[in-house]
Each structure stands twice: as structure tokens, then as C-alpha cells.
Chain A
Amino acid sequence: MLYVFLGRFHTLFYMKYNKILTVKEVEWLNQSHVLIKLTDSMPLPEVMPGQFVQVKVENSPRTFLRRPISINFYDRQSNELWLLVQLKGDGTRAMAQLLPGDKLEVLFPLGNGFSQEVTPGEKVLLVGGGVGVAPLLLYGKYVQEKGGIPLFLLGARTQADLLELDLFRQYGQVYVTTEDGSAGEKGFVTQHSVLQRAGFSRISVCGPKPMMVAVAKYANAVNIPCEVSLENLMACGLGACLCCVEKTVRGNVCVCTEGPVFNINQLTWELD
């Protein structure tokens, strides 16, 4: 009976919606990244950190499929949903042209997010690279609200490529690496000195695959639990097309429904 109840609750909790949201603001963070703040006349559905949306892109004839974008931030009080978008192709460039008051069709919330179990007082290292920092903002807030201590380790090519640093600082200590040394420590996130100093109990990562593999190798070597957020190419986002699969210990599974966040012990990456 309890199982049935919890099962139903789970389904209700993750109810998916295809909503036409309103653009409240589009903020250019640098030349290749925009922050799109969305709202709705109705209360937005609850979302969990690490979940993503599928955006239907208008005014871009060469964009056929929806664009999967991770949820950067969600705030119940202001009824806002934020998407941090890197301008990579026609679709994302069309999204950057949106103006306040424009409509955007968004299918969400999709996927399973980061680990929701936070032990009060535990230090959690959140590692982000490039636009991969996006889902860590909401997760950092979540960890802090649950009594944990989020530490952010954010990497980028140069100082100009670092995103939302001030927002991250609201929730915890921020450590930075840049490849050219223009901000923070020079090098890759896996070379940052915080890895030697801070005793954290687990790691959550989102960024380019080589960076996630490097962090996963580190976590594996020092025996710290680690979860990564994948961004495999996908079509539907609902587990129907079976395009976005990742090889796991359970075989090929859809990143859109079983992920995008996976514990590294579920993956078949070579970490030794």
C-alpha cells in the first residue's frame, strides 16, 4: 500500500508539461551566452536541480528538433525558470533573439536530477565547466537549503567565459580555474588546489565530456562518490526515440529519462 502511494506520488511529482511560457528577460552574459528568464501566468511546476527542458525553437528554419537545455534556476516566489544558453548553432542563436514578452514552448521538467539526499553539514563539491555550470546553480541552492555546504569549482577557457560567479557566491565558496590563468588558478579543474584541501563527501559534475571523465577518474582514485550530468544528442526527451542512449552496467539506457545525471559507478567509462 505504501509502495503504491509512493509510486503515485512520484508520478505526480514528475508530471511533465508542454507549456507556452513568457520571456521575462534575456540577459547577455558574454558574447556567446544568454540567460533567458521565463515565467507564466500560472504557477510553474516544481522542478528538481539537474532536470532539463526541451525548447521548441521558432524563427529558425534549419532547426528541426527541440533543443534540450538544462534548468539553470527555478524560483517559486518570483515564478521564474532560467535557462543558460550557449550560442552554438542556428537554434540557440534564434533563442538569443527572444525579447521580453515573447513566447517560448517548453516541454518540462524532464529527466532525473542530482542526488536529493543531503546530509546536514556535509561538503558537496559541484564542478562545472563552460556552460556546464548551468544546472549547478539550482543544485547549490538546494544543497544549501538542505543544510549541506556546497563548494563550487568552476572552470572556463578565460575570465570572460566564466558565468554567473556572483550568483554562485550566494550559496557557497567559489573556486575558479581558467586555461589561460586570467582568473583563479591556471589550468583545468582537476588541477585546482581545493581538491587537496577541502574534505568533501561527494562530487557532482557537469561540463564537457573530457572534463567529466577527468573528474570521474579523480573521484574514483580517491574513492569519493561522484555523479555526472550527460548531454547526449537526443530527439524526443521522453524516452521514446532511444537516440540518446549511454552504455551503463545495465546496458544502453536513455539519458533523457534515466539520466541526465548518473553516478559514475553506473557508467562504463574507463576510470583506472
Chain B
Amino acid sequence: MTASGTFGYGIEFADLVNLSDIGGIIVKGTTLHPREGNDYPRMAETASGMLNCVGLQNKGVDYFCKNIYPKIKDIDTNMIVNVSGSSIEDYALCAARINELERIPAIELNISCPNVKQGGMAFGVTSKGARAVVEAVRKAYDKTLIVKLSPNVTDIAEIALAVEDAGADAVSLINTLMGMAIDINRRCPKLSINTGGLSGPAVKPVALRMVWQVAKAVKIPVVGLGGISTTEDAIEFLMAGASAVQIGTANFIDPAVSVKIAQGISRWLDQHKYKSVQEIIGAV
């Protein structure tokens, strides 16, 4: 699958990759009301990764349903909407709107965006907050509910257990790690809101460790992401216990990387005489 915020609505990449070859496309974070996002500059390149502080720029769920959904509903893959909000009511109302869309089989609940002052990550860093959002959304949404977890916590497994107990069908992790970069000549942060979320290969070992911890703790499926850019990276996540993986920042460097990795996993399984990917999930 492609990770939210790294693959637009899929259509931006239609010239470059056969979208139906991707297992799922998780579209950009959608909120109840339109959001302008944060000021420029919103990104900084770092060693083997990047920081971003986009701040959930999107035109709101009404615009999505009216103008974007008709354009993406016939893409032959799982089109999943990432839902974010700044209050429990907003999350539930937004999820309820997406629930009406026939061709959207699942949502990914973003309780882990580090770049929005109110809400977002605030819900995802305590078990109580995470549980409250998921319980409210569960009542408003009856299809597959994936909850995206924040790595900016002391014990991610504890949050995952709370989310599972509140009715999540799956968890995905990790969202970006909060970080910072400074322009030493100007003596100021490189990002407009000072801090941002780190992604890319730099975060992969952290993400892998967290996927391993969460997969041991919960019974629901775990979707692994964080710095995956090669077939071998993806297989590591599967062996750590992920049932599926998302490709994020790597899409910026190779727009077709997700398909290459999906094909690479199949090839690797054949070469190593595995009959099914199930045989390697959680194999460590």
C-alpha cells in the first residue's frame, strides 16, 4: 500500500505506475473542515530522510466526497481514506461521511499527526485519548477501521492495546517521528513551525522495533511502515509481525517503488520456496 500524504489521491501518479498493481492507496489526510496547512517552508532534507510539517492541508470531507471521490472511485485497488481531526466530534462526523462512500472499504484514523497544534497527535499519545477517539469513530463507521499510531510515545504497545480494545480492526505504524533541523547561517529552524515529522530510511530501525513490539501485544493485524524503500525492508517488517506494509517517502524518489516492492516480495517468496506470505509474517 502507499502511505497517506506521500501518494496524493493516486491520480497524480497515474502516468507513472499502474495503480491497480498496488494493494491499496491511502489518500491524503482528510478533515471535517478545509485546512490551509502550515506556512512554507514545510520540508527539510535530512540524512537518509526528510522532515515535513505540511499540517494536514486538505479541502475538507465535503469537497472530497463531491469532487475527488468521483475521480478515484473506479481505480481498481483498495482506496482507503486517512481521516484526521481536532476534536472527537470532528473525527466521528468525518468518518460518518466517508462511511457513505461505497467504493471506500476502509479508513485509516490518523491520531498521530505531529504537525497540528490542536488534536492529531494529542489523541494518539495517551491510551485514554486514543481509546476515546476510536470508540467514537467505531460508532460512526462500520467498515474496516485502521488506526495509525504515533511513535512519539513511551510505550506504543500500550496505546495499540487500548485502540484494539476500543474496536479498531487493525493498526498501522509508525507515523513520523517528531524532529527538527536548523539553518545555521540564518540561526533559525528550517521549518515554519520549528518542528516536523521525520520520515524515510532514517526512521526504519525505530519503526521496525515498534512494529515488532505491537505485533507481539495485539491480536488484530498490524500494518507496518516507516522508511521502507526496498523489498528487503518490506520483508523485515513482515517478519517483525506486520501483515501488510505501506510505502511512504520512497514514493518521492521512485514513483513506481510500491509496485516494484510488491513484485519483489513475490519473487523473494518464490526463490525461498515459501508457498504464502503468511509463512514469514511474524517469523522472528
Give residues in A with beta carbon < 8 Å to B. Answer: 15-18, 56, 62-66, 107, 232-247, 251-252, 257
When A65-B50, A232-B40 are in contact, do A242 and B253 touch as well, CB less than 8 Å?
Answer: no
Hey, which chain B residues are within 8 Å of A245, CB to CB? 37, 40, 42, 57
User: What's the least CB distance linking B226 to chain A, in Å?
Assistant: 15
- List 7 tightest A-B contacts by C-beta distance, closest first: A240-B8, A243-B43, A16-B15, A236-B252, A235-B252, A243-B42, A238-B12
Hey, which chain B residues are within 8 Å of A56, CB to CB? 253-254
Hey, which chain A residues are within 8 Å of B15, CB to CB? 15-17
User: What's the least CB distance linking B221 to chain A, in Å?
Assistant: 26
B45 contacts A64, CB within 8 Å? yes
A235 contacts B54, CB within 8 Å? no
User: What's the least CB distance linking B82 to chain A, in Å?
Assistant: 13
A62 contacts B57, CB within 8 Å? no
CA distance A252 to B12 in the complex (A): 18
Q: Which of B47, B49, B252 contacts A241 (CB 8 A)?
A: B252
B45 contacts A240, CB within 8 Å? no
Hey, which chain A residues are within 8 Å of B39, CB to CB? 247
B54 contacts A242, CB within 8 Å? yes
Q: Which of A63, A107, A240 contacts B6 (CB 8 A)?
A: A240
Q: Which of B36, B45, B200, B255 contacts A238 (CB 8 A)?
A: B255
Q: Which of B12, B37, B254 contacts A240 (CB 8 A)?
A: B12
B57 contacts A242, CB within 8 Å? yes
Hey, which chain B residues are within 8 Å of A243, CB to CB? 41-43, 52, 54
CA distance A63 to B256 in the complex (A): 19
Hey, which chain B residues are within 8 Å of A15, CB to CB? 15
CA distance A70 to B42 in the complex (A): 21
Secondary structure of the B side of the interface? loop
User: What's the least CB distance linking B106 to chain A, in Å?
Assistant: 20
Mark each residue of chain B from 238 to 255: 1 if its CB lies under 8 Å from any CB of chain A, else 0. Answer: 000000000001011111
When A233-B41, A246-B40, A252-B37 are in contact, do A18 and B256 touch as well, CB less than 8 Å?
Answer: yes
Residue of B nearest to A16 (CB): B15
Hey, which chain A residues are within 8 Å of B50, CB to CB? 64-65, 235
CA distance A66 to B50 in the complex (A): 12
Residue of B nearest to A12 (CB): B15
When A16-B16, A17-B15, A107-B255 are in contact, do A242 and B6 touch as well, CB less than 8 Å?
Answer: no
CA distance A244 to B8 in the complex (A): 14
Mark each residue of chain B from 1 to 16: 1 if its CB lies under 8 Å from any CB of chain A, else 0. Answer: 0000111100011011
CA distance A247 to B57 in the complex (A): 12
Hey, which chain B residues are within 8 Å of A236, CB to CB? 6, 251-252, 255
B7 contacts A240, CB within 8 Å? yes
Q: Which residues in chain B, 4-38, are within 8 Å of chain A measured between CB atoms?
A: 5-8, 12-13, 15-16, 28, 36-37
User: What's the least CB distance linking A136 to chain B, in Å?
Assistant: 25
Residue of B nearest to A62 (CB): B47
Residue of B nearest to A236 (CB): B252
B36 contacts A252, CB within 8 Å? yes
Task: Flag whether B46 is at the interface (Cβ < 8 A).
Answer: yes
B40 contacts A66, CB within 8 Å? no
User: What's the least CB distance linking B261 to chain A, in Å?
Assistant: 16
CA distance A232 to B200 in the complex (A): 21
Mark each residue of chain B from 69 to 90: 1 if its CB lies under 8 Å from any CB of chain A, else 0. Answer: 0000000000000000000000
